[in-house]
Structure formats: structure tokens, C-alpha cells
Homo-oligomer: A and B are copies of this chain.
């Protein structure tokens, strides 16, 4: 699969795909005879996972750490699990924070709708 196809499939730019490869999140991706990237199935799986985790705000640094541990092999399994569990906690916390903000936002909108605006902002 070419870089263009992958970019379209996952709705991201070629630049981002090359960037992820440069920082070691993906690949190194095989090149064909003319030097162009040819993404494998397992490249795609990684990209999908990375993309999903990025959309949740997990940093490239953390993902890189996870990928590196994965590439180190079996003996890092527990450490990887712990890393994911930590990110799970952070993510749950973030969702909670955002849900609280959403509630306040909804309340404020309700005030606008009922013309009962309070005194500030």
C-alpha cells in the first residue's frame, strides 16, 4: 500500500505518516524497487492503533515508549501492560474532567436559552 493510500485510509497526511516513521512509531516501512514506501498489513495495524491512541491525546513520547518495549520482546510484557494501565487511568481522568466541563457548558447554554443569564461571562 502506498503512502497516499494509507494517508487516505486513515485520514491523515503523508507528512504525518513520514513523521511517525521518523520518530520510530511506525516501520521502518519497506521500500519498493523505486524507493517508495510499501506499507505492510502489520504497518497498517500499528498505524490504526497509534491513530486511535493519538486521538485520545496519548502523547507520541508514551506511544514511542510502548512501541520500543514491544520491539524488545516478550520480557517487556508486564511493563507494557503497566504502561497501558497508566494511560487508561489518565484517559479516564481526562474524560471525567471533560464531562464535567461539558455539564457546565450545557448549564450555561440553558441559562442563555431561558434568558436567566448570571452576572459573569
Contacts and interface: CB of A to CB of B under 8 A. Distances in A.
Interface stretch (A1-9, A15-23, A81-89): A81-89
A39 B26 CA distance: 49
A98 B92 CA distance: 9
A85 B70 CA distance: 42
A30 interface: no
Interface residues of A, number: 41
Interface in A76-110: 77, 80-81, 84-85, 87-88, 91-92, 94-95, 97-102, 104-106, 108-109
29 contacts: A49-B104, A52-B100, A52-B101, A53-B101, A55-B97, A55-B98, A55-B101, A56-B101, A57-B98, A58-B101, A66-B121, A67-B121, A77-B112, A81-B109, A81-B112, A81-B113, A84-B108, A84-B109, A84-B112, A88-B102, A88-B105, A88-B106, A91-B101, A91-B102, A91-B105, A92-B102, A95-B95, A95-B98, A95-B99
